[in-house]
Amino acid sequence: MRLTKFGHSCVRFDTDGGSIVIDPGVLSDPAALEGVDAVFITHQHADHCNDPELRKLLEDRPDIRIYGPDSLAKVLGNLPFTIVSAGDSIIEAGTEVNVFGKHHATIHPDVPVVANVGYLVDGVFHPGDALTVPDRPVRILLAPVTAPWLKFSECLDFIRAVDAPRVHPIHDGFLSKDGITVFDRLLTNLVGAPFQRIADGDAVTV
């Protein structure tokens, strides 16, 4: 299986059976959606769910399958999608996608908490905007590294709690080039060899 990072929190999985994209938002490259078979959305925020791009995708290919929490209806409107929640298991692109979590991490008491689910794709975990620790082994963690809801210490503790043998950073679209360098250096020093950055547009075999 090939994993490609398309900016911020968007990743694509290409397998012998097809392709899956998670969280194609406004900070990611729309090219992630080219030829995709299924799209998984963790929550409704625009940096994870680019409504106009999904509308264009469905106009061109109405057979595309979209999955996400029920609150996606607030931004997708009448666009068809399949509601998923914690405990669900979906087969797409010849691989199993398991669903974890319920809520977005708290940004501030004044900001409403929305639904958020994470996806475990053949052992690769994308948590969306939450620090959900799956109740099963994770072989690769896609770890959010910066966000309005996240402190560096929380990011580090989350990585250690999941304890995956390999960690790739995501949710980094808010960082400058220098900021990425600082975060990567800190996490490499504290996490060690498991922490490996995938540059936007690059792919790795997982």
| Helix ranges, 5-151 (H) | 51-60, 73-76
Report the pLDDT value the prediction gives residue 42, as an integer from 0 to 100.
98
Q: One digit per residue, pLDDT tens: the chain, 206 residues?
A: 999 999 999 999 999 999 999 999 999 999 999 999 999 999 999 999 999 999 999 999 999 999 999 999 999 998 999 999 999 999 999 999 999 999 999 999 999 999 999 999 999 999 999 999 999 999 999 999 999 999 999 999 999 999 999 999 999 999 999 999 999 999 999 999 899 999 999 999 99
| Helix ranges, the chain (H) | 51-60, 73-76, 152-162, 177-191
Using alpha carbons, select from 189, 138, 178, 179 the residue that is nearest to residue 162.
138
Note whether 78 and 55 are within 8 A (CB).
Answer: no
| Helix ranges, 85-201 (H) | 152-162, 177-191
Give the span between the Cα atoms of 9 and 47, in whole angstroms.
8
CATH fold, domain 2-205, is: Metallo-beta-lactamase; Chain A (3.60.15)
Question: Could you tell me how far CA 1 lies from the centroid of its own chain?
Answer: 16
Whole-angstrom CA distances from 182 to 137, 152, 158, 178, 201 are 29, 11, 19, 6, 21
Angle, helix 177-191 to helix 152-162, in steps of 10 degrees = 40
Burial-class residue 41 by CB neighbours within 10 Å (0-12, 13-18, 19+).
buried
Report the pLDDT value the prediction gives residue 25, as an integer from 0 to 100.
98
Report the pLDDT value the prediction gives residue 172, as an integer from 0 to 100.
97
Report the pLDDT value the prediction gives residue 107, as an integer from 0 to 100.
97
Report the pLDDT value the prediction gives residue 44, as an integer from 0 to 100.
97
Using alpha carbons, select from 105, 64, 97, 101 the residue that is nearest to residue 85.
101
